[in-house]
Amino acid sequence: MTRTRVIAALVMAPAAIAAILLLPTPWLAALAALVMLAGLWEWLRLAGIDDSLPRTVLVGLNLLLMVLLVWASRGDDGFSPALFQIVTLAGALAWLLALLWLWRPGFTAGDRPWTRAFKLAAGTVAVVPAWCALCLVHSGGFTELAPAAAAIDASGHRWLLAALALVWAADSGAYFAGRRFGRHKLAPTISPNKTIEGAIGGLVAGVAVALAFGAFAGATVAQLPALALVAVATVLASIVGDLVESLLKRQAGAKDSGTLIPGHGGVLDRIDGVLAALPVFAIGKEMLGF
C-alpha cells in the first residue's frame, strides 16, 4: 500500500504543480472547482445522500454559488476581492468552530434529518471558502483577472504552490512519522491510526517546506518567522480537516471516501486537509502582507 501510495503521488504531484504554475487563474479556478466538487460529491455520500439525483442537484447548487460569487465580484474596473475575502474568512472561522464538533463527535451521530442537514451545510462551508481562498492566493488578490493588469502576478502562483506543498508535506510527514514513531493516539475515538508523534512529524515537515517554498515565492528573510507561524496554523488546520473527514467516514461506516485514487482512496481523502488549510493560509498571508 505504501508503494502504491507513493507511485500515485508521483503521478499526481507533477500535474498539480504544472497546473498551479502555468495556468492563468480563471482556468485553474475552473479545474479546482471540478476537483473540489468531486470531493463534495463524496462528502454528500458520507453525509447520507446515497441517490445520485439529489447529490447531483446539491453539487450543482454549490457550483452555482461559485459562479454567483464570481459574477457578484465583477465591476467596471475588474474583479473586487472583497466578497471572496469575506467568504474565505468565514471559512477559516468555521474550521475553528469545527473543533467543537470534534470535541463532541456524537453530536452528529445517527442518520436523523437534522444531523444530515448539518453535514450537508458543512460540506458547502468546507468547499466554497477553500475555492475562494485558492482563487485569492493564486491571483495575487485578483490582480491577474483585472482587465487593466499589465502582467500576470506569477508570485501568486508560487504562493499557492507553497500553500499546497506545505499541506502535502505535512500529510506525508505525519504518515511516515506516525508509522515509525507513533505511540500516543491523537483522537482515538475519531481516527485510531493518527498519533501525536505523527502530527508533530507533519508539523515539522510542513513548516520546513513552507519556508523553502516561501523563499521561492518571494518571502524575505525577515518574513520567514511570520511565514513559519502561518505554516503552523495552516498545518494545524489541515489536521482538523483530516479529522473532520475521518469523523464523517466513521459515522458513515466507510473506510475511504471513494476508490478513485490508488493507495489514497477518494478525492475527498486527498483534499480534506487542503479544504481546511487554504482559508487559514490565505487569511494569514493577507494579514502579514506576503
pLDDT digits (tens, 9 = 90+) for 70-115: 999 887 666 788 899 999 999 999 999 999 999 998 888 877 888 8
Region of poorest pLDDT, from 107-111, 203-207, 215-219: 107-111
Nearest C-alpha neighbor of 227 from the set 242, 244, 210: 210
Query: Which range, 72-86, 232-246, 250-264, is most confident?
Result: 232-246
Mean pLDDT of the chain: 88
pLDDT of residue 109: 84
pLDDT of residue 257: 80
Nearest C-alpha neighbor of 146 from the set 77, 71, 69, 84: 77
The 3-state DSSP class for residue 148 equals coil
Phi-psi region of 241 (alpha: psi -120 to 50; beta: other; left: phi over 0): alpha
Listed as own residue / partner, the contacts of 140-147 with beta carbons closer than 8 Å and 24 or more positions apart are 141/81, 142/25, 142/73, 142/78, 142/79, 142/80, 142/81, 142/84, 144/24, 144/25, 145/25, 145/26, 145/78, 145/79, 146/77, 146/78, 146/79, 147/78
pLDDT of residue 106: 86
pLDDT of residue 13: 81
Q: CB neighbours (10 Å) of residue 85?
A: 18
pLDDT of residue 262: 54
Q: CB neighbours (10 Å) of residue 151?
A: 7
Q: Mean pLDDT over residues 272-285, rounded?
A: 96
Q: Which amino acid is at 214?
A: G
Q: Which three cell numbers stand for residue 200?
A: 508533530
Q: Mean pLDDT over residues 255-262, rounded?
A: 68
The 3-state DSSP class for residue 110 equals coil
Cα–Cα distance measured from residue 32 to residue 28, given in angstroms and rounded to the nearest whole number: 6
On the question of pLDDT at 260 being above 90, the answer is: no
Question: Would strands 185-187 and 191-195 be described as parallel, antiparallel, or unpaired?
Answer: antiparallel
Q: Percentage of the chain with pLDDT > 90? A: 64
CB-based contacts of 259, cutoff 8 Å, min separation 6 = 265, 266
| DSSP characters over 200-244 | HHHHHHHHHHHHHHHHHHT--GGGHHHHHHHHHHHHHHHHHHHHH
The whole-model pTM stands at 0.91
On the question of pLDDT at 11 being above 70, the answer is: yes
pLDDT of residue 26: 92
Residue for grid cell 505525519: 174
Q: Mean pLDDT over residues 246-253, rounded?
A: 91
Beta carbons of 280 and 273 less than 8 angstroms apart: no
Residue 145's pLDDT band, with cuts at 50, 70 and 90, is low
Rg of the chain over all Cα atoms, to the nearest angstrom: 18
Residue 225's pLDDT band, with cuts at 50, 70 and 90, is very high
Distance set, CA 155 to CA 16, 82, 144, 226 (Å): 17, 20, 11, 18
Q: CB neighbours (10 Å) of residue 226?
A: 17
On the question of pLDDT at 180 being above 50, the answer is: yes
On the question of pLDDT at 149 being above 50, the answer is: no
Residue 12's pLDDT band, with cuts at 50, 70 and 90, is confident
Q: Identify the helix (H) or strand (E) that includes residue 281.
A: helix 267-288
Residue 150's pLDDT band, with cuts at 50, 70 and 90, is very low
